[in-house]
Chain A
Amino acid sequence: MDTTHSAEATQPKLSEELEKMPYEPLLPIEKKLILWSVLLGLFLLGALVLLNQALFRT
């Protein structure tokens, strides 16, 4: 990864790029991805919290 050598000289303007950006409504698959991602995250986090309590807090 290189944070320093962006090709700024040849880079188009941000405002122009954002203006060109098309409107894309959220697809059902994206909603599913978001929802399942958060739910899975919360479930796994809960499981890890319990495991943490059992393993390291006793």
Chain B
Amino acid sequence: MKKTTEVKLLTEDWLAVCLGLFLFALSLASIFGVDALGWAVTTSVWTNPAKMLVPTSKMYAAVAGYVSLLITYVFLLVLMSLGAVLLRLNLWRFIKAFTAVFCLGYLSWILGSWAYIAATPDKRASFHIGWSLNLTNEAGYIVALIVGLIVGNFLPVLAARMKEAIRPELYIKTAIVILGGFLGVTAAEQLGLATAVMFSGLCAIIVAYLIYWALVYYVARRYFKFSREWAAPLASGISICGVSAAIATGSAIRARPVVPVMVSSLVVIFAVMELLFLPFMAQTFLAHQPMVAGAWMGLAVKTDGAAVTSGAVAESLIRAKALADFGIRYKPGWIMGVTTTVKVFIDVFIGIWAFVLAWIWSAKIDPKRGEKVKAVEIWQRFPKFVLGYIATFAIILAIGLLAPAQVAKAKAAMAQANVFRGIFFVMTFFTIGVVSDFRKLWQEGIGRLALVYILCLFGFIIWVGLAISWIFFHGVMPPVA
């Protein structure tokens, strides 16, 4: 593999911040009367293909849907290609790969928006259909994941050709930066509820770092006889935030790089499994407690991409069920908002946790190394995309609090940015599918690692996460639209 890390002008983390803030700024221009993103394509639930694609803004109503899609693709291609240059990727290969990712991802979204899959019961009559799966048009995410899994597991040549643009972390981090603004609007509208959501983030930190980590580490060391070099990254990968935590921990305790890499590949596969069944469990058992479901996704599903996208899927499934069963139409964004807040709070502390572990390892467990741990390592390991998320959230919240009359405009602006959040989400789902190589589960030796994961996940992570979510959110309902 070509080594690119030494010559990067920008890390993926910072690139996500730049991309997210750029799109956020363009959308914000609409507050000042400049419709900079109104041409971007949105996908509606459809039976007539002619009506499935439309531009976001009414100002561009005359533009045909497929033209809007083409403009959106070209715009994102240019933007992402600039990013690829900054990441020092092979530009031509990236352009081809990104085109494939965009096309397959967007086609999945279109397919998932077909009325027979997506229409909620109250809309069936308007589409002249007698039945539908009631999955809302976010079913496109699930279709994208399935298509990605097919490519990743059965079409290895195609997957290899797309490798340059298979970057789920970049896509999800960009989406999270954009999401900050969208959640800022919801927070400005319901400040009390938003504060409670933030508070739950604090609890998530405690659960993930102090309880989950310690228990997984103990299980791995005591019952599965893993060495410290393996047990610590494994505990971080399973209990905190998947890949980034495993890598940060591996580096903190000076494990060989191969250890967190092997742990990470397992974490990604299991995160996808969680993504495939937990949102449906949430819909089945927690439709009457939607905020509990959102927090649960954030606490139980590992990796940023899988967790936030689980929140998105859980939200669409629960909103659809609440509408069908109880006639309640919850405002969008709140369930996924809890998931994202929980996940972002957990991410913030990865650097500090790695610093703490580095200190314990160098001072108490392996003192012969004689290396001093520097506080700057906290900043080096800090996930920078969180800064983008905080910035967009704070800007919109400040607009909402300081100039309440502008909330409606800010909301419309964020709706435009949200179009791109959706596109980045669908590309995240697709690329997560591609990187989830289930053949690794048949790899010799994986059983012992997987057993720790399964035992901890089903033994306590899912249930403790559910209990904590229940304690903090039972009876708390998202606002009704």
Contact = CB atoms under 8 A, between A and B. Distances in A.
Given A3-B169, A13-B444, A38-B215, A26 B222 contact: yes
Binding site secondary structure of chain B? helix
Nearest to B246: A1
B143 interface: no
A18 B21 CA distance: 44
B286 interface: no
A34 B435 contact: no
Contacts of B225: 23
A56 B476 CA distance: 10
B284 to A, nearest CB: 27
Interface in A1-37: 1-7, 9, 11-19, 21-24, 26-27, 29-30, 33-35, 37
Q: Indicate the member of A3, A4, A35, A38 with the most B CB atoms within 10 Å.
A: A3
Contacts, number: 126
A52 B446 CA distance: 41
B60 interface: no
Interface stretch (B30-38, B262-270, B307-315, B338-346): B262-270
B360 interface: yes
Contact of B169 (A1, A29, A52): A1
A7 to B, nearest CB: 6
B380 interface: no
A45 B444 contact: no
Contact of B207 (A15, A24, A45, A55): A45
Contact of B261 (A11, A19, A24, A40): A11
B243 A1 contact: yes
B104 interface: no
Interface of B: 1, 12-13, 163, 166-169, 192, 195-196, 199, 202-203, 206-207, 209-211, 213-215, 217-218, 221-222, 225-230, 243-244, 247, 258-259, 261-262, 264-265, 268, 303, 360, 364-365, 383, 431, 435, 443-446, 448-449, 468, 471-472, 476
